[in-house]
Structure 1
Amino acid sequence: MRFVLPASRRARHPLARALSVLLGLAVIGVLMVFGLVVAGVLLVGGLVLLAVRQWKLGSSRPAAAGSRASHHAQTIEGEFVVLRDSRNTAHSH
């Protein structure tokens, strides 16, 4: 099975060809500018979101973040017991 495109109807007049090339370049330029604007909006929005998140995180922390008291507040202590399994398993070697 062959896929055949229909014959293109290119204009023979040189002025029409030049105008079609300029129109194509203009469309490509508009699409590129639109893409850059969208990328800029996403970048600025992401930076604003990150700054707001960091600001909220910073305001909820205690004033003495480096002190020993805040270190103890983040530590979880507990006891553990080592259980010995008499069976030989592949991961115990």
Structure 2
Amino acid sequence: MTETELMELVADMREEFQIPPYYSDDQLNNLAKEGECAVGGLNPGCSITKDLVYRMLLKNYMYYAYHHRVNEFMENYASVILTWQMETEVPSDENYA
């Protein structure tokens, strides 16, 4: 994730989830980076700007992490994550069929 994408994500997160001003952008940056590793690692190669499902999952991961409930995120979003992974699966090459 680029710095510009990170700044946009933090701004979206702050506005959409009404994060109070006393919670610093640095803390939200850390949550975003943790989420990128945790969620992005489940489906490598996805873009935060092109893949809106990934963006939604990352923002929701950040929200759950903000409330110290990461385990609940994984449980609540397991089916969404699986569908996301299946939909972005690399198509097979017809030559190998």
What's the TM-score, normalizing by structure 1? 0.23
What's the TM-score, normalizing by structure 2? 0.23
Structure 1 or 2, whichever has the larger Rg, is 1
Q: Normalized per residue, which structure has more helix?
A: 2
The structure whose RCO (Cα within 8 Å, separation 6+) is larger is: 2
